[in-house]
Amino acid sequence: MKLFCAGLNHRTAPIEARERFAGHAGTIARLREQGEVLLLTTCNRVEVYAATARELPTSEIAQALQLHGDDVAPGELAAFYRYENDQCARHLFRVASGLDSMVVGETEIFGQTKRAYEQARASGGAGAFLHRLFQRAFRAAKQVRTKTEITRGSISVGSVAVELAEKLFGDLRGRKVLVLGAGETSEKTLRALASRGVSDLRVTNRTAARAEELAQRFDGMAVPFTGWLEHCREIDILLSSTAAETHLVTPENLAPMIRHRVDRPLFIIDIAVPRDVAPEVNGLEGVYLYDIDSLQSIADDTLQLRRQQIAAAEAIINEHVADFSRQMAQFGAREQRVATLHPEIPATLRVSEL
């Protein structure tokens, strides 16, 4: 059996090309006649993994992935890569671990790979060979995730803010959040906070209608813009993103509000430019102020750290590739023996029985 993969991704082809070759179960049905075939499609890649008795040329795979059935131009074929045997295993292990992703270390690809495998298994596309290959890929990816820091931290400003809040308070359930300014950025961050269990949401805005609309959407409470400061006595997180040209929160107006809450930290996320919160506020006891630059800097550090962890992740993957290669060699030898003893049994049946 020949084990290989072929496809294109965000590095080898622009989105237009990926759209044209976004094949599905129907388009690759013809390939399945040749042996085990599995299709992995995400927004960044379209790949076919196969274990077949005869060699399938890349052009045939590209043709099968073509959505409109047109001929594949030679220029388009150049965007396809192809890996065989150990290289195919290494490529899949890197993909499942998030090393081949646009954002190194992202974990969504693991779930997408798993779903692709389950679909192929259910439809009969994945047999003994691909089963071994993908199970090994999942083990490798899990080990990469637990033994390295490649998936640690967040790399977007909003998620860094939410992660910090979670780190600071442990559990966000029951925490009180006040949103100052009901813009699009506030809404995104608010959505992320709500998804982590924050239930007491208060929104204030110069335009009261907009505050009410946003508060309603998140089952929160609209607060009059003239009285928002009073809420700082109770809240745990202040998310600020207004278009104000001067500082709305200063040590002078905040200090009296937090005087009696010494044992409860106040986390302030200021994602407005120009800033809504005076930087001196960070000097107040128990107040932790993060503006857009500090959040971006943490996101950059995380990305840097993830890149530093690539070598450690590659070492884990090398071990798994070596193991998989040995396993496949033994499997091949057993299959060969059966083929010699019982040439009447078809190859596909031999493989599935083994």
Q: Which of 5, 43, 88, 232 is an active site residue?
A: 43
Largest Cα span, the chain: 89
Number of residues this chain uses to bind other proteins (CB under 8 A): 27
- Confirm or reject binding of residue 282 to other proteins (CB under 8 A): yes
Q: Which is nearer to other proteins, 297 or 336 (CB)?
A: 297
Least distance between other proteins and beta carbon 265 (Å): 6
Return the SS3 of 35.
Answer: strand
Distance of CA 74 to the CA centre of its chain: 33
Q: Which residue's entry shows tokens 């929104």? A: 203
Angle at which helix 108-123 crosses helix 85-97, to 10 degrees, equals: 130
Least distance to other proteins, CB of residue 227, Å: 25
Q: From the list 69, 73, 184, 262, which residue makes contact with other proteins (rule: CB under 8 A)?
A: 262
Is the CB of 48 or the CB of 160 nearer to other proteins?
Answer: 160
DSSP-assigned beta bridge partners for residue 7: 47, 81
- With beta carbons less than 8 A apart as the criterion, state whether 51 and 2 touch: yes
Cβ closest to other proteins, residue 250 vs residue 308: 308
Provide, rounded to whole angstroms, the least separation between the CB of residue 143 and other proteins: 13
Radius of gyration over every alpha carbon of the chain, rounded to an integer in angstroms: 27
Closer to other proteins by Cβ: residue 54 or 260: 260
**Alpha-carbon span 234 to 232, nearest angstrom:** 5
- In angstroms, what CA-CA distances link 114 with 26, 39, 58, 121, 313? 20, 11, 24, 10, 19
Residue type, 167: K
* 233: contact with other proteins by CB under 8 A: no
Calpha distance 198→192 (Å, rounded): 9
Q: How far is the C-alpha of 96 from the C-alpha of 252, rounded, in Å?
A: 52
Confirm whether 5 is a catalytic residue: no
For other proteins, the closer CB: 81 or 288:
288
Per CB under 8 A, contacts with other proteins among 288-307 are 288, 290, 294, 297-298, 301, 305
- Measured from the CB atom, the residue of 3 and 266 that comes closer to other proteins is 266
Site for other proteins in 144-163 (CB under 8 A): 147-149, 152-153
Based on CB atoms, which residue is closest to other proteins, 79 or 305? 305
Q: What residues from 9 to 48 belong to the interface with other proteins (CB under 8 A)?
A: none
The site string for other proteins over 161-190 (x = CB under 8 A, - otherwise) reads ------xxxx--------------------
Near other proteins by CB under 8 A: residue from 259, 307, 334, 342: 259
- The CB-of-260 to other proteins minimum distance in angstroms stands at 8
Comparing CA positions, the residue from 171, 193, 182, 160 lying closest to residue 290 is 160
Decide: 215 and 201 in contact? Cβ < 8 Å: yes
Binding other proteins by CB under 8 A: which of 14, 174, 197, 286? 286
CB of 86 to other proteins, least distance (A): 27
Q: Give the other-Cβ count within 10 Å of 131's Cβ.
A: 17
97 binds other proteins (CB under 8 A): no
Torsion of the alpha carbons at 262, 265, 271 and 272, rounded to the nearest 10: -10
DSSP state of 283: G
> Least distance to other proteins from the beta carbon of 95, Å?
23
Can you tell me the distance from the alpha carbon of 136 to that of 3, in angstroms, rounded to the nearest whole number? Answer: 14
C-alpha pair distances (Å), 44 with each of 130, 156, 313 = 22, 19, 21
Site string for other proteins, 334-353 (x = CB under 8 A): --------------------
Residues of this chain that interact with other proteins (CB under 8 A) are 147-149, 152-153, 167-170, 259-260, 262-265, 282, 285-286, 288, 290, 294, 297-298, 301, 305, 308, 312
Task: Supply the residues annotated as catalytic.
Answer: 43
